[in-house]
Structure 1
Amino acid sequence: MSEHREGVNPGFLIHHKLALTGLTAGNAQGIYSELNDLPGVDAVSVDEARQSLNIAYDASHQDIDLIIQIVEQQGAGVRPGWWHRIKLSWQRQTDHNIKDNATHEAQCCSKLPTDYKSLKK
């Protein structure tokens, strides 16, 4: 079993890989340090040669839009193109689902819903 940083729930852990543009040695270090300091981030790696960012984080605390915002503040950006837009929309949907599931309170499966009588009328 691998160890995770404090505050990271392995049930809500998600891994994303982003293809970037405009990544240099200077802003790669800035992106790494700023993302690594966020609460809920488990692992970050920035590869300047491949122009990519690999990040693992607890999606109940962070989301992909904040990651992109930090990347853009440092002077880099997400690679344009239809494939990257599709992957990014999938990553947003996954983050949204995990955040919703983290706040969901489950009901017992063998009980009737609390508003069962109002549905019956």
Structure 2
Amino acid sequence: MSDFPSEKSKMSASVEASVLIKELASPAPAGAHVETLIRNVARRLGWSQSRARDVWYRNARRIDAEEIDALRKAARERAAGAAGRGTDEQHEDGRTEPEYVRRIEDRLVALEAELARLSERMAR
């Protein structure tokens, strides 16, 4: 049995393509603009931004078989990568999730130390 919605039901290619392209853009960072997400997915798929936008918003008049195949392939690769990677999600700058969290925690500790020093000075 297939993992793709349109192969399990009567979902149209347009709806499936929109769902898949949005899945490829997730998880979106907090505050991310939709146009930025669309541009990033378009770049990943080798599509124009306008084509990706039409698919995203279901404005495409048609979805070619090659486009659905590309979306399904990208979704499979993403799922396989996530399964192999476990919880160590990789960020755009190449760091994995634990490294990213450690770096933020280190910065927080440094800021708290600086705040304590400033509070001491002001108390004098």
From the two aligned structures, give the one with the greater strand fraction: 1
From the two aligned structures, give the one with the greater helix fraction: 2
Greater RCO (CA < 8 Å, at least 6 residues apart): 1
